[in-house]
Every structure is written in C-alpha cells, then in structure tokens.
A and B are shown apart, each in its own frame.
Chain A
Amino acid sequence: MASYQDYLLHLADNALILGQRNAEWCGHGPILEEDLALANNSLDLIGQARMLYQHVAAVRKDGKTSEDLLAYFRDVPDFKNYTLLELPHSTAILPTARGDRDYAVTIARNFLYSGLMVQVWAALAASTDTHLAAIASKSLKESQYHLRHAHDWVLRLGDGTDESHRRIQAAFDYLMPFTQEFWTASDMEAAAVKTGAGVDVRVFRPEWEALVSDTLQAATLKVSSSTGFVTTGKHGVHSEHLGFVLAEMQSLARSHPEAVW
C-alpha cells in the first residue's frame, strides 16, 4: 500500500540519484566552469534530498529512520526515482568506459528534469504539508538556476558545431522516451494528491511540452519522439544501471556503518 511517505521518498530519490550522477563529472568536467557548475548542481540536489529524507525520518518517528539509513541502506527496489535519472551519461546502452560519458546527455537530462521540477516545486510551495512547502520554496530557487544553465547549453550545443548539434540531438532522441514515466499514474502520487500535500504532475505536461519544443526549436533541433517502452523506476522497478549507482554511492557507508568524521 503506497503512502504519502513513499511520495516524499520519490521526490528525495529523484534528487539524490541525479545529484549522484551529476557528481560523476566532479574533476572530469569538459571545462573548468562546467565542472564547478555540475558540482554545485549536485550539492543543491543532494541538499534537497537530505531535507526530504530528514522530513520522512521526522514523520516516521520510529527512532531508527535517519537520512543516512534512507540514502545508504535501501536497495534498488526501494528507490522510487524516475529511471531517466539513473541512466549513465551516455547514449550507448552499455557504456564501457568513462570516456563514453557524453556531456550532451547530462545537459539534455538536466533540462528535461529541471523543466519539470520548476513547476512541481512552484506548486508544492503551497502544499498542505507546511514542511514540504518550505523545502519546495527553497528547491524552486535552485531548480530555476539548474534549468537556466541547462537551457543555455541546449541552445549552445544545438546551434553550435555539426558535432555538438549531432550529439545533443542524439541525447534528446535517446532520453525523450524515458520522460513518458513522468505522466504515468502511481498509487503514491494519488495518495499525496488526495491529502492535498502532493500535486498531480500531469497538469504540468502542456507547459513542459511547450518549454521543450520552444527550446529545441530555438536550438535548431528536432523535437524527439517520446514513444516506446514506458519505464517504471518510480514503482521501484529499475534499469540495470541503478544497482551500479548505489554500489558506488553506498559502499563507504556500508563498509563503515555509523562511522563519523
């Protein structure tokens, strides 16, 4: 039975997993400024995840749940993030080397996700859960800058060289089908909407699609098709990639449980 807590975990897991993915660029950014930008973007996302996990722990009040337990001691089926956010930074289905990382995929994904989240956070700022509303008001300000950053790069890559145009187009072609998952129904979202604490993400679809098509057109790109298999990450059924993300992210905490600096 899905509960409101699952909805909070869904929001938190989205932020944590994308934050972890984007942090892979730390020290490997294509240019110094972008290295810094992605590190800051990750800090914001991980900060948002922390506030949400702390909120879940406070709601549960079982004396056991903590932000660390939720981030580091849950396994793949417990995570409720969109599959889109766990994919490697590559259009290849199975990237085999770090060199397969493609910044165009990073930018396209950040654009697709932050374009949704600026609307979600803006609406959640009026949530009946006043603590979630407070987190949303902060996160909104950060997502705005993430969207602005990604938006500028979509234009720059699309309207740039033949190579950058080809790669950002391929990135959108690859990622767009994963965005179908945004609009699928789930029990946890229905439960959250019912209490007035959550929002029905489907109401944002027209504005999100307008943002995507306006931006891609301005970037001289074709709006990619978003049909095909609908992923199910938010239901806990993930791609093969999430396990690798968690293995890296959780290994330290699991090797040294309750270690402190």
Chain B
Amino acid sequence: MKSPSSLQEASLPVLPVGPLAQSETSQEHHAIWELLETVTDPEIPVVNLREMGILRAVRQGLQGLEVVITPTYSGCPAMGQMEDDVTEALARAGVAARVITQLAPAWSTDWMTPEGRKKLRAYGIAPPVKNACTAAGSERVIAFAARKGLGQADSVPCPQCNSENTTEISHFGSTACKALYRCLSCMEPFDYFKPY
C-alpha cells in the first residue's frame, strides 16, 4: 500500500489538494483512502474508484469528513451505484463521512492511474490511448468530431495480441464510455475505453 501522499499524487494530478495540516487528520484520511481501495467500478469490477480517477479527495469539511467523487459520463447509470457503494463501505467501517459529488473539474480519462490502465487491459478493455482533448477551442472540437487534423482516429492496440492493426466497429459499445473495436490480426472484437 502506498502512502496517502503518493496515492494522491498518483491519482490527483489536476485537483489542487492542499497539504494536510495535522498528522492526525492525515492518518485518518489515509485510512479512508485505504478503506475505499475495495470499492470498484460496478461496470468494470477489476478497477477501483481511485484508479478510475472518480474518487477525488478525502477532506475535512465544515460538517466533518467528506469523501469527494466526480461523475464520469453525465448519464452514466453506474454513478448512483458508486455513491451507494462508497456510503456503504464507509458505514460498514464505522466511518462518519459525507459523500459529495463534485462536477468541476470535469472527470477525464487522463486521471486513470497507470495501474488502472494495466488492469483494464488485462481485463480485455483497451485503455484510452491518448490524452483527452482539454482545449475548449471550438475549431479543435469540430476537427475532432469530423476526424480532421488533430481529430484523426486513434490507433488502438489490441488488448489480446497487441497488434495495432485494429479498426473501429462502432463509436458506442456496451456502455457510453466504450467504443467497439475489432483486431484485424487476431480477429477478436474488443472494447475500447474512449478518451473523455
């Protein structure tokens, strides 16, 4: 198990998380991070919420401890389940903490940890290959959507045989966050977790 600071460094490159003032608080927070290691994505049970970048912070709020999570896709039906799972895990361990859903900054697949990506791959889901487009310039947005310039299709290596000779079958797979791909070398179809 990593120390809380390295956990946060690994999973929270974007959020400004201030240094913890008291070591007592820090230990309590560390224990919660560890506790929540067991809470996995309901759709992809091999990765936990920290590895997905969904678990954003454990912090001291005005009304006690707060666990902050952020939604993935706006309509993701798994979000309610994740919130319930976190609440239940906390309650089971006797920890009094509120679960807070925070929209900003918007979740990005860039926040998935390297270990999370590795686990996705081993599970048969190709992890996002390039960083999500964070620049909000509408020209870039349109280029992406129309597959022009910077928006050209990614080359996604097959999670089974590693071949880069793969092709997209459909933008939307079994869930909104995944596209359906096929490997032209080993002929296996696979899910691709789209950059978001």
Chain A residue total in the interface (Cβ 8 A): 47
Question: Looking across the interface, which residue of chain A has its beta carbon closest to that of B144?
Answer: A144
Tell which of B74, B75, B151, B169 touches A33, judged by Cβ atoms closer than 8 Å.
B169
Query: Counting CB contacts under 8 A, is A211 at the interface?
Result: yes
Task: Check B136–A151 contact: CB distance below 8 A.
Answer: no
Tell which of B138, B171, B174, B175 touches A148, judged by Cβ atoms closer than 8 Å.
B171
Binary interface profile of A, 179-203, with partner B (CB < 8 Å = 1, else 0)?
0000000000000000000000000
Query: Counting CB contacts under 8 A, is A109 at the interface?
Result: no
Q: Which stretch, A90-98, A99-107, A128-136, A167-175, touches the partner chain B? A: A128-136
Assembled-state Cα–Cα distance A123/B138 (Å): 8
Task: Check A134–B174 contact: CB distance below 8 A.
Answer: no
Assembled-state Cα–Cα distance A170/B151 (Å): 29
Note all chain A residues with C-beta closer than 8 A to B132: 141
Task: Check B172–A33 contact: CB distance below 8 A.
Answer: yes
Query: Counting CB contacts under 8 A, is B107 at the interface?
Result: yes
Assembled-state Cα–Cα distance A182/B106 (Å): 27
Kindly count the residue-residue contacts between A and B in the assembled complex, taking CB atoms under 8 Å apart. Answer: 120
Assembled-state Cα–Cα distance A44/B196 (Å): 13
In which size bucket is the chain B interface? 35 or more
Task: Check A148–B106 contact: CB distance below 8 A.
Answer: no
Query: Counting CB contacts under 8 A, is B82 at the interface?
Result: no
Note all chain B residues with C-beta closer than 8 A to A250: none
Assembled-state Cα–Cα distance A137/B71 (Å): 12
Note all chain B residues with C-beta closer than 8 A to A137: 104-106, 136
Subset of 23 A-B contacts with CB under 8 Å: A34-B170, A36-B174, A37-B172, A40-B172, A44-B73, A44-B176, A48-B75, A50-B75, A51-B74, A115-B142, A115-B145, A122-B136, A122-B138, A122-B141, A123-B136, A126-B136, A137-B104, A138-B73, A138-B107, A148-B146, A148-B147, A151-B146, A151-B147
Which A residues form the contact surface with B (CB < 8 A)? 33-34, 36-37, 39-48, 50-51, 114-115, 118-119, 122-123, 125-126, 130-131, 133-135, 137-142, 144-145, 147-149, 151-152, 204, 207, 211, 214-215
